[in-house]
Structure 1
Amino acid sequence: MHVPDGFLDLATSAGTAAVAVGGLALALRGGRRELDDRLAPLAGVTAVFVFAGQMINFPVGAGTSGHMIGGALAALLVGPWTATLCLSVVLIVQALLFSDGGITALGTNITLMALVSVWTAWGAYLVLSRLLPRRLSVVPWVAFVAGFVSVPAAAVAFTGLYALGGQAPIPLDSLLTVMLGWHAVIGLGEAVITALIVGSVLAVRPDLVRAAQPYLERQRLEIREGSPA
């Protein structure tokens, strides 16, 4: 989904750059509350994995590319604020060192992948965690849904930005169809990968999965309440 230089007009690119800067400023503050000595190494590993996954690109038409985003995986493992920072670092390195995504479109790519994708996934997690039973066994299923919805959400957001300031001679309805069609398929792959990785970490070290913390706290509370006085 890396947007190239010149695909959006200057005003739209500047607007997304402002959104990205604001989002990063908030993420720096929020990340301080999420990260500790226990989770910091996992954040680094997650960023490396997302970087590798995003480097595998294939064209989806209209000058854009499709690939794994990793926003849901990062959000559920290390928290949404830290995930925003991880994705942003990945995108900055890709743009500056590997020419993957345009320099002038860096704010757009951060907005789409580090903000829209991450926070859509986290929002899906919050909704499902209230609707489903508070058991650790449901966390991988929540991860599956969060991984799936995060990708088409970013594709729809991109199409909205194109409607505001697109510079390519591409009909909006055609672009939306292509983006949603391809990214629904990518979303299924992302859902499977997210669920498998979250489930694997959960089986070994549930204390390292940010999304599992409310479930673990409930489990500990039930154990305390069930213990004899």
Structure 2
Amino acid sequence: MVDEILVMEHVTKTFGHGHTALTAIDDASLTVSRGQFVSIVGPSGSGKSSLLTISAGLQRPTSGEVSINGIELGNLRNGQLTAMRFTQIGFVLQRSNLIPYLTVYQQLALVDKVAKRATRRQKIREVLESLDIRNLADKHPRDLSGGERQRAAIARALYGDPSLILADEPTASLDTDHAYDVVRMLAEQTRTYNKATVMVTHDVRMTEASDVVYRMEDGRLSMQ
């Protein structure tokens, strides 16, 4: 079993060419291990989200290497990248992105359907129970609070049993109390299920539960 889940080595991302070129990420290196909750904090436009999309193979770096579970993403074709994202990465976004006409239970069951396997009812119950939302299983997103929707989104991300969880501003649409609650849950689940998690946020208050905190500014990544 690989302990280092996400490894980024000297990653640079440049948009455009010549005098109009914009460097979004400037020689960034990062390692996230199993069971580790890492936060990247920085202002809007600092390159945080670009770093996350490159971590997921949604963009390719201009230079440098990105590996997940020892597999270098630059060596994979688009179809292989898509398969890796489905099996190895769980996403928690600023808005929960739950499917509005599916119940919380059905959101997780859909993961099994896409994977062409039988619904794992007991596993669904266990994941919902671990996030203290089993009582919400039959509710639709419109019937949930913002914090409950984000817990459901975390449940969906965990249910596929990914090695890596990428959270992009997961608390931005929540009030402070619910925001702290969501981050605490995300950190707990990371350690309980031995995942590697990277959360990007503009709010330094949300980094208290982190094992390691980085700062991103003008595309440069440094340990805080």
TM-score, shorter chain, exceeding 0.5: no
Which one scores higher on RCO, CA 8 angstroms, separation ≥ 6? 2
Whose strand proportion is higher, 1 or 2? 2
Q: TM-score, normalised by structure 1?
A: 0.31
